[in-house]
Amino acid sequence: MTFPKNLGGMEERGFGLDLAIAEAGRCLLCEDPPCSKGCPARTDPGAFIRKLRFGNITGAIRTVKENNILGGACGVLCPAASLCERECCAAGMDRPIRIGKIQRFLIEHSWKTGFKVFDGEVFERPAARRGKVAVVGAGPAGLSCAAELAKHGHRVTVFEARPEPGGVLRYGVPAFRFEAAFLKKELEDVKALGVEVKCSSPVAKKGAAERLLAGGYDAVFLAIGLWSPRRLTGTRRDLKGLFTSLDFLAALREGDHRLVGRFFKGKACAVLGGGSVAIDCARSALRLGSRDVYLLYRRSFSQMPAEEDEKAEALREGVHFILLSQPVGYVADSKGGLTAIRLVRTRLGGSDSSGRRKPVAIEGSEWTLDVSAAVEAIGYKPADGSPDWYPSVAVDKGGLIRADEDDCRTSARGIFAGGDIIRGSDLVVRAVQDGKTAARSIMEYLGNP
């Protein structure tokens, strides 16, 4: 079986030096830059774009790296049009400065030119401080917290359940949007700060977080994300050709194209859901050679949670959007292979708690769609049983850890939490923000503000 080349490589290229400088040249050099206020992680685009504009490339790189150790990942993955670039429009630009692209350029340029994060180029090597911290989870929140603490001289160990670090960046986001080689380079910058990352080391036994404290760590940061996919209720789950978005995307990231691909290549498939993850799955299915990819969503186009540019890209690539249709079950052959999805048509009724109009099933409207494969991309929740891993920490009824976004403190002394496990599914840049916030709180807690 052959696969299109771009299944494994980032398709959109970053700016080169000339383009980046030309783009920075359009900046109005606003006072008190609105773009900087629009960045959740406080990466400070106003400052790095000003430096680039005046030819201070090293200074611009330093600003990004000082403020956001995952500045490259954010440059590629941030939905900048609804964050920093939206504020740039509000500042009076018809076309906002392409902040994400400039940020990505600066980080790629730093790698090309052999820029070192330590030894004077970004950070001075700090004096060692007392305090040993355990970070649980090597996703963006955990890595950002660990980097921040290491920069200040604290000893940090990151415990990661999976064989490699990166969290969703490594096992979720498809490689055609964010490739492993890019992540690897950014991780080298984190490790260069002295962060120790222990992979295949889950902290997942009863009371495991409290045991870290009892075993000599002075503080614990829980950044375990959401790793349990929501499933379509009341349906069979053991069908050949039926995947969760987690299994589907992780298999592709692991290179298991053949295992997954045989259900998709040359065949019709469906993706259930209307968010960014559903779009990622649909576009991945196209790249596996699916003949027809149907995106099934129970509300209308404008209510889909995916970003506008993602929806446009999926449409442009040929994904068929089937809207106002709710999947209600699967049809299988005698060998347990998926053959079709049962759906009902919906109409929009009154508003729900999120303010969106609720889909209401239309009686007698059931129909079936023939498919050989389906991917459920209808959200993620905390791993089953995860509250047992940290019994002294208060969680809400959905299992999310209760922690204040302003300080990432939990109900348990010495245990902090951030990222998706406190917010629900969110963004890389907000996980980075939480990592920085938690590091500040942990340093205060350790008496080293």
Ligand X SMILES: Cc1cc2nc3c(=O)[nH]c(=O)nc-3n(C[C@H](O)[C@H](O)[C@H](O)COP(=O)(O)OP(=O)(O)OC[C@H]3O[C@@H](n4cnc5c(N)ncnc54)[C@H](O)[C@@H]3O)c2cc1C
Residues forming the site for ligand SF4 (CB under 6 A): 27-30, 33-35, 39, 41, 43, 45-46, 49, 68, 74-75, 78, 80, 83-84, 87-88, 91, 93, 97, 99-100, 103, 429
Strand-by-strand arrangement of the 196-198 sheet: 196-198, 155-159, 132-136, 219-222, 415-417
Question: If binding is defined by CB under 6 A, does position 172 make contact with ligand X?
Answer: yes
Q: Which does 99 bind (CB under 5 to 8 A by kind): ligand SF4, ligand X, none?
A: ligand SF4
Strands 155-159 vs 196-198: parallel, antiparallel or unpaired: parallel
276 binds, among ligand X, ligand SF4, none (CB under 5 to 8 A by kind): ligand X
Site membership for ligand X, residue 387 (CB under 6 A): no
- Sole residue written with tokens 């993706």: 271
Q: Does 40 bind ligand X (CB under 6 A)?
A: no
Give the residue with the Cβ less far from ligand SF4, 51 or 283.
51
Cβ closer to ligand SF4: 210 or 420?
420
| Residue 72 structure tokens | 């490259």
CB 343 within 8 A of CB 366: yes
Place of tokens 């040249």: 25
The span from the CA of 444 to the CA of 449, in Å, is 5
331 binds, among ligand SF4, ligand X, none (CB under 5 to 8 A by kind): none
Among 173, 282, 293, 401, binds ligand X (CB under 6 A): 173
Q: Give the gyration radius of the chain's Cα atoms.
A: 23
Q: Tell me if residue 268 falls in helix, strand or coil.
A: strand
Q: Amino acid letter at 142?
A: G
Question: Phi then psi for 388, rounded to 5 degrees?
Answer: -70, -20
List the single partner that 275 binds among ligand X, ligand SF4, none, CB under 5 to 8 Å by kind.
Answer: none
Selected binder of ligand X within 68, 103, 276, 326 (CB under 6 A): 276
Min dist. Cβ of residue 380 to ligand X (A): 7
Pairing type for strands 325-332 and 320-322 reads unpaired
Closer by beta carbon to ligand SF4, 186 or else 218: 186
β-strand partners of 240: 337
Interacting residues with ligand X (CB under 6 A): 77-78, 136-142, 159-162, 167-168, 172-173, 202-204, 223-225, 227, 249, 276-277, 280, 389, 419-420, 426-429, 431
